[in-house]
């Protein structure tokens, strides 16, 4: 059967002119409706064709909160990832290190993962050289220079950047440890008298306590403890001894 002969597609008027069949009218009006709807949709949700537009909320209304978008840590970690490209030259993008250049891994490293940032911040501030044990292997022969920005080393990292890159290393490749803040870096930089040009050895670093301040009893020799107790007023000493005896 030829299509024209099918009244669904084509009708012939009495005057013999060809008109639209029932189905064609449906298709046409359907297409027109789609066009109108599409236009309305783009007008409402198209974000005025702004490249930065990603949200379906119409303009003028508060955007939906996208999970994670408000997380300040995510922003810092993103920044850290960019800075880390400089570290990756030696430590590799996956933090696995480079045995051919005596570069130890950061993934799974106890120096990176220690809950307290006391040592790892110092490594970045003044550098590290000499034998260092990482994940049970001794690494030796490599040198990591200071990453701290100074007048002599202007292309290095600010305290904020050191915090970001360390936070990134502590939360990548399966690593999980607390973020490091710029304030923590600044506090250690201020308190640490070591110049950035004198690299740490691992041996020296291991003496840096991982807690804020060493416990008083560990810091005092028995003689010092005795002197400290003798300096107390008699009543206080008596109260203290009673308390200790309990
Ligand atoms: C020029 C190569 C080089 C670059 C670039 C480099 N490091 Fe290192 N890094 C080393 C070497 C070598 C050691 C080991 C030094 C030693 O043997 O005492 C090391 C040691 C470390 C350690 C302590 C040991 C460990 O594996 O955990 C940390 C942490 C560290 N680097 C972090 C970083 C970060 C963060 C950056 C980027 C800001 C960086 N490094 C850039 C070469 C490099």
Cα dihedral angle (133, 137, 140, 144), rounded to 10 degrees?
-60
Ligand 1 within 6 A of CB of 172: no
* Per-residue pLDDT reduced to its tens digit, 126-184: 999 999 999 999 999 999 999 999 999 999 999 999 999 999 999 999 999 999 999 99
Q: How many CA atoms lie within 13 A of 140 on its CB side?
A: 5
Is residue 68 included in any domain, yes or no?
A: no
Whether 89 and 186 map to the same domain: the answer is: yes
Residue-level pLDDT at 213: 41
Whether 37 and 121 map to the same domain: the answer is: no
Whether 84 and 164 map to the same domain: the answer is: yes
Whether 43 and 140 map to the same domain: the answer is: no
* Strand stretches in the chain, DSSP E: 10-12, 18-20, 128-129, 132-134, 137-139, 143-144
* CA–CA separation, 79 and 127 (whole Å): 21
Residue-level pLDDT at 100: 97
Ligand 1 within 6 A of CB of 106: yes
* Three-state SS at 230: helix
Residue-level pLDDT at 236: 75
pTM of the model: 0.66
Residue-level pLDDT at 203: 97
Output the domain CATH number for residue 123.
Answer: 1.10.760.10
- CA 94–ligand 1 middle distance (angstroms): 14
Are 159 and 187 in contact by the 8 Å Cβ rule? The answer is no
Ligand 1 within 6 A of CB of 140: yes
Residue-level pLDDT at 174: 98
Domain of residue 8 covers 3-49
Ligand 1 within 6 A of CB of 180: no
Whether 28 and 82 map to the same domain: the answer is: no
Residue-level pLDDT at 238: 84
Is residue 54 included in any domain, yes or no?
A: no
Residue-level pLDDT at 220: 47
* CA–CA separation, 23 and 9 (whole Å): 6
* CA–CA separation, 6 and 137 (whole Å): 85
Ligand 1 within 6 A of CB of 138: no
Sequence-distant (≥ 6) Cβ neighbours of residue 151 within 8 angstroms: none
Q: What is the mean pLDDT of each run of 10 residues along the chain (246 residues)?
A: 55 58 72 77 64 57 60 96 98 98 98 97 97 98 96 96 98 98 96 89 96 46 64 78 78
């Amino acid at each position: 059967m030829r299509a024209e002969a099918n009244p669904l597609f084509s009708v012939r008027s009495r005057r013999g002119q060809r008109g639209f069949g029932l189905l064609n009218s449906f298709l046409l009006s359907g297409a027109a409706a789609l066009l109108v709807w599409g236009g309305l949709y783009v007008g409402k949700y198209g974000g005025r064709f702004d490249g930065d537009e990603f949200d379906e909320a119409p303009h003028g209304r508060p955007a939906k909160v996208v999970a994670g978008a408000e997380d300040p840590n995510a922003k810092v970690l993103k920044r850290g990832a960019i800075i880390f490209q400089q570290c990756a030259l030696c430590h590799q993008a996956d933090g696995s290190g480079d045995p051919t250049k005596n570069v130890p891994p950061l993934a799974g490293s106890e120096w990176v993962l220690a809950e307290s940032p006391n040592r790892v911040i110092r490594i970045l501030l003044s550098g590290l050289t000499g034998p260092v044990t990482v994940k049970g292997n001794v690494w030796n022969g490599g040198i990591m220079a200071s990453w701290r920005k100074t007048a002599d080393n202007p292309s290095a990292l600010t305290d904020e950047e050191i915090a970001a890159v360390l936070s990134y290393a502590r939360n990548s490749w399966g690593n999980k440890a607390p973020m490091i803040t710029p304030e923590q870096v600044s506090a250690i930089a201020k308190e640490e008298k070591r110049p950035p040009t004198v690299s740490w050895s691992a041996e020296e670093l291991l003496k840096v306590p991982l807690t804020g301040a060493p416990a008083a009893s560990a810091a005092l020799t028995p003689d010092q403890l005795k002197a400290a107790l003798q300096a107390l007023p008699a009543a206080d000493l008596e109260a203290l001894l009673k308390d200790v005896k309990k």
